[in-house]
Homo-oligomer: A and B are copies of this chain.
Amino acid sequence: MPIIAVKTLERLILYRRQLLALFSEGKRFVFSHDLAAISGSTSAKVRRDLMEIGYSGSTVRGYEIKSLIRSLGDFIDASKPLSVILVGAGDLGKAIISYFLERREKLVIAAAFDPDAGKTDGLIRGCPCFHTDRMQSFIRENDIQVAILAVPAGEARAAAAALAEAGITGILNYAPVRLELPDTVYVENRDMCMALEKTAFYARASRERVTMREGFS
């Protein structure tokens, strides 16, 4: 039912990044197997993924990087540059703001919101930070669709509900909490504990594999 598979979208986003790097290195064309190699994919997958967005290359030169980047952008990005808001200007929130300042992408953090009086109505590294009271009206007035949620776990559900009520349709959630929201809101969970547990699991598996191999040699 979804127009495109999640995994395909992730790869498309990755391809675009790698293509931008290639382009800035002066490359103008790329073959599916090269793009695969630098993206950790396979040539067949690359070709299939690009087929998905209706892009065609040449059998002789491969894909023209510039136009492919444009096609990927047409597919991935919104027509207008997208504003997002940050909810929760704690340690993580501040790190996110400073991270986004460096990068000049299509995605910009329009404002941050935090109930803590010490931080409100000021600027965090150039990004305006308002009191949470003003969050919903800001979303409505500026037609914000996406929010990054970096509030304490105990606050996450309530904050997410407020976001959904104000019309947000996508939440990037850093709190280790499952948000239960109407399915009009897309939630992407970035749970650090989960990521670390997963990494630890495969680290262990990897080490055991190596140990086993040594046993054979």
Each complex incorporates copies of this chain amounting to 2
Q: Across the interface, which residues of B come within 8 angstroms of A6, CB to CB?
A: 198
Check A192/B99 contact, CB under 8 A, given A146-B199, A169-B203, A185-B206: yes
A39 CA to B191 CA, complexed, in Å: 14
A179-217 Cβ-contact flags toward B at 8 Å (1 or 0): 000001110101011111111111111110110000000
Q: Across the interface, which residues of B come within 8 angstroms of A44, CB to CB?
A: none
Within 8 A of B (CB), among A17-71: 17-18, 38-40
A40 CA to B105 CA, complexed, in Å: 32
Contact between B199 and A10, CB atoms less than 8 A apart: no
Check A40/B10 contact, CB under 8 A, given A95-B95, A197-B76, A205-B3: no
Contact between A178 and B84, CB atoms less than 8 A apart: no
Contact between A148 and B196, CB atoms less than 8 A apart: yes
Contact between A194 and B95, CB atoms less than 8 A apart: no
A141 to chain B minimum Cβ distance, whole angstroms, is 17
A81-106 Cβ-contact flags toward B at 8 Å (1 or 0): 01010000011101110110001010
Within 8 A of B (CB), among A149-197: 168-172, 176, 178, 184-186, 188, 190, 192-197
Closest 8 A/B residue pairs (Cβ): A170-B203, A186-B202, A91-B95, A169-B203, A170-B199, A169-B206, A92-B95, A188-B199
